[in-house]
Amino acid sequence: MTRDLVLVTGGSGFLAGHCILSLLAAGYDVRTTLRDPGREAPLREALRLAGIDAGSRLQVAVADLLRDEGWAEAASGCTYVLHVASPVAAAEPKDEDELIRPAREGTLRVLRAAQRAGARRAVLTSSFAAIGYGRAVKRPYDERDWTNVAAPELAAYPKSKTLAERAAWDFVDGEGRGLELAVVNPVGIFGPLLGPDLSPSILLVRAMLDGRLWAVPRLMFGVVDVRDVADLHLRAMTDAAAAGERFLATAGDFMTMQAIAQALKDGLGENAARVSTRVLPDWLVRLAARFSTTARQAATAELGRSKNATSAKAQAMLGWQPRPADEALAATGESLIRLGLVNLRRP
């Protein structure tokens, strides 16, 4: 019996690596895209250390979200496509198109390649950023909600995720008819690292463990484990009910940054001795906003704001059951320590 081949874009990324791991463990063959072919060896080694010797069951194709070359070959013969790759920036870019263009154009390139290759279904990794910004609601956010891209304070990243997801739905409703689409909208993704590449959420935990955050602002966001997000991608890929649906992925109620810091201290004990649970005064965050684009976004849009979201749809429709948030946070810290990526020594 021939195994289904699944394309996973951006294989060197945090979530994509876990999607590849889960697919291989479930018996699928995988092809993944990398911009740099030199990243193949570290990816294979990370999978091996996680318990999977991929061998010939993992193929690598070279492709870039901003270029047409390579995508037809990458999608050829694939039954399913998981479009996980998406640009992120450590700080707010001077030109928002630095994020918006590769997110939107890259999504359309991948979906066109999937349709032309005869793939059955594509699963797009969107984000809570496409759901819960620029518009307040008095209930937990859910899949009915969309970020307001016209909001004046909206940062480039949520705008890029929203526009990319909108473009994906427009594509399958128009020229892409015949290709099924499901979308996963995760909140902040935490959990065990497969290698040294650090996403923004992981960088936050590292900064807390390093003691570089002597206090935290009054911000709150959702937490979900990367292993559970990968699992939700596989469920959205194969469940007949998932076609044409969005699925918000969060492990329970949103947490304040102070609560996240406390969860790290509770879960890691002495290894979290440098984590601070002090709260920054709002006025100090607003002062910092005069000099920092990152602080400016927090101060103008999210500071002190209470928000929440629900994953009830994914749980009811697909049987998805995420780990508790504190378990995901502890796993993040443990893997950072295991990989030697955090400085635990007191100055």
- Indicate if the pLDDT at residue 321 is higher than 50: yes
pLDDT at 291: 57
- Indicate if the pLDDT at residue 290 is higher than 80: no
| Averaged pLDDT, 165-184 | 96
**Does residue 95 lie within any of the structural domains?**
yes
CB atoms within 10 A of CB 201: 22
Please name which of 4, 31, 1, 5 lies closest in space to residue 16, comparing C-alpha atoms.
31
Domain CATH number, residue 185: 3.40.50.720
**Does residue 341 lie within any of the structural domains?**
no
3-state secondary structure of 189: strand
Q: How far is CA 188 from CA 100, 167, 212, 254, in A?
A: 20, 23, 20, 10
pLDDT at 341: 93
**Dihedral pair phi/psi, residue 86, rounded to 5°:** -160, 140
**Does residue 293 lie within any of the structural domains?**
no
pTM to 2 decimal places: 0.94
- Name residues whose C-beta falls within 8 Å of residue 34's C-beta, 6 or more positions apart in sequence: 10, 11, 12, 40, 43, 60, 61, 62, 63
CA 269, chain centre distance (Å): 27
**Does residue 290 lie within any of the structural domains?**
no
- In contact, 307 and 165? CB cutoff 8 Å: no
**Which is the catalytic residue, given 161, 265, 307, 313?**
161
**Does residue 270 lie within any of the structural domains?**
no
**Does residue 343 lie within any of the structural domains?**
no
- Name residues whose C-beta falls within 8 Å of residue 31's C-beta, 6 or more positions apart in sequence: 5, 6, 7, 8, 58, 59, 60, 61, 74, 78
pLDDT at 346: 60
- In contact, 130 and 194? CB cutoff 8 Å: no
Tokens of 190: 């935490």
**Does residue 277 lie within any of the structural domains?**
no
Please name which of 188, 265, 264 lies closest in space to residue 223, comparing C-alpha atoms.
188
Mean residue pLDDT of the chain comes to 92
**Dihedral pair phi/psi, residue 184, rounded to 5°:** -110, 130
Q: What would the pLDDT profile of 9-56 be if each residue is shown by its tens digit? A: 999 999 999 999 999 999 999 999 999 999 999 999 999 999 999 999
| Averaged pLDDT, 294-301 | 56
* Number of domains, the chain: 1
Which domain, by its residues, includes 158? Answer: 5-192+223-251+307-323
Active site residue 265: no
Q: What would the pLDDT profile of 108-119 be if each residue is shown by its tens digit? A: 999 999 999 999
Q: Which residue has the tokens 């406390």?
A: 262
**Does residue 166 lie within any of the structural domains?**
yes
